Structure 1
Amino acid sequence: TWCELTSYGFDCEHPCQCQPNEICFPPTGMCGPECPSGSYGFMCSLKCGRGCLNSRCDYRRGNCSCGPGFIVDGVCNRECPEGTYGIDCVGTCSGNCEGDRNCDRASGNCIGCMDGYFGSGCHFQCSSRCLTRRCDKETGECDSCAKGHFGGDCSGECPKDCFSSECNFTTGSCIQCKTSRFGVRSCQPSECEGHVLVCNKTCSTNCKNSLCDDINGKCFACKSGLKGSYCEENDRVFLVVLLLVLMFLILVTVSILIWWLLKRKSLGRAAVTEPPQPKTIEKKVESEPEPEEEEEEEAEAEEESVDEAESETSTYSSSVDL
């Protein structure tokens, strides 16, 4: 017969005389210190069951209340079968636990999660914006984000003017700006130190090919006639040279025009004053006698002149005779 803590003897007929911090052993009534957690029996020589709640059991028989993860049988030494958990093994491990429903027998927490799930019981899915849908099995933080997103769960969207929609996984800072865009903003203390490239401004229209520095917006090169970091200043030397070239071209053009007008005017005057050429010139040229013919004509002319002279002489003689 086991007596209450306050009595001892064969029929528990004797009251114990122990101090408040002592216990009375039923067979003899001897007083002794209370058994430490995890032990029971005479002189605390026996161990409580492994599943006893708070590791405490009845100091006489060893009976206890079972904690989660053990079959309730009074002594709590049998663990729950694999795939179950909780008090008296009434819980079932999650189907998303890695392995064959392998979870902690007491809490039901998975030993590991299947790819795509996270949390103590693997009940949560990784963000659809996680690259390859994989994330930290405990926190759910993505290993890396799909294009255009950033942040632990990839819920942040990269600035719209990032080149190729790519930005830093942690801060959302553009890796590079699109053509003609630049700009930064200060980091939040929790983000980083310095600045974040957000590309929210437009390069100067005076920049050659609309290209400028991603951070400060300074032009890499200027359009013709401009200078300065932002190409906001006129290049006077260039303008003077350009003006001189234009003046020279105008002068040459005017000179050519005047020459052409004068030439045209002189040609018109010559056409008015020049007499018409006879149409028989060619014929005369064609009928010019040959040198031999000229000599014959001259001889004939001399003979005619001699005949005329003789005729005149005879006429004169006749008149004298009369």
Structure 2
Amino acid sequence: MIDSLGLLVVLLGHSVITRGENITCNTSCVRGPDNTTETCNITTGECLYGCNVGFAGPNCTYRCPDSCLHPQDNETGPCDHISGECLLGCKEGFAGLNCSILCPENCLTGESGMDICNETTEQCLFGYKDGFYGSNCTRRCSNVDQHCEQCSERKGDIWCVPSYISGEPQCRQDDGYCNHGCKTGRYGFMCGVRCSSTCNDECHRETGMCFECQPSSYCGSTCKIPCQDGCLLQQCNQSCQCVKGCTTTNWGEKCQTVCNSNCIKPSNPSERVCNAYDGTCLLGCEGERFWTNECTEPCFSTCVNGTCEHYTGNCKDGCTSNRVYGGRCDTPCNKNCNAGTCKREDGYCDKGCKEGSFGNNCGNICSATCLNQKCNRVNGCCTDGCISGFEGQQCERGCKEGSYGNNCGNNCSATCLNQKCNKVDGSCTEGCISGFG
């Protein structure tokens, strides 16, 4: 039948063409309950039963953003067909009038349909998930990895608690500082730095200093210094002091000093070469040719056979020459010894002293007032008397008043005024008495 308004043609599965003005119903209009009637007003094109999901407007021609929440009955569509505004709010994770802003994935959510971030700044409106910080919650609590730690206690293991229990998140929102310390093996402001691999799990939060070294073959504040080779089993404490003592060939507080190579080595390698505290060679010096506790000094060349005693350095077999003396044969005889020789024990000049000297070692000089400067070897008394004007055993005194000459054996002349005269030649020093001249 032909109606005055035109011919009705039904295109199954697509659109319905209406009479008269050839108005085509939009495919986004919802079909009627019997699936055969018109889906839109044949005059205006307005959808009679609402829009399919994702469309809006009277004719359902406006495609809404996928991020809009959809109404259950869909009579109005999820968005305003003129402004594009999502009428029921945004799906979780989106913001803005048309829900076109993708919020940072770490923002906490609010009630259904509410924006969770600012559409301009993207700042999280309800806070951020634990483990993230920054205005838009995009930064992790460590710039390397998520190393912040949060725990209630430690009893051989770490018991982590969520942020809502302590009331404080893992890290500060403004700068990422880990509020509850670092996970095992990390340190630094944001716990982004690894502790030394030789730390025993943990290190100081601020400095990275190890609390203990592991294995025990390392030492130092960050456990990066190998223990001394001289440590037995190469084990030491964090101060680098050997905990099990020194090897048989090392000594010192940290066993860093090797026993002197001049020490005699024991036939049994498990026995010590030198004392672990002061380095003294325990079996003496090689070939008896060195001395001092550590056998560092060679015997003197004046020792017979070049050998000497370990601790004193005294020549074991005497001196190579009788011109030196002393236990080490290292002191020359006095130059005043006749023939330059002396006894080893005390340096006594065994062949006497040169003229003008006296004493055991001939180290003393006879007095210049001794006649001919000769004196006794033992006590220094002048053997030939005194020169003119002096007297005494060593001619140490001048003549008394009224005497003169050798040993002061002459009296001044009685004709000298006041009987005073020169002590050497006897001449009157104040003149003669009256009648003499």
| Structure having the higher Rg | 1
Higher helix share: 1
Whether TM exceeds 0.5 here: the answer is no
- TM-score normalised by length of structure 1: 0.36
Quick one: higher RCO (CA 8 Å, sep 6+), 1 or 2? 1
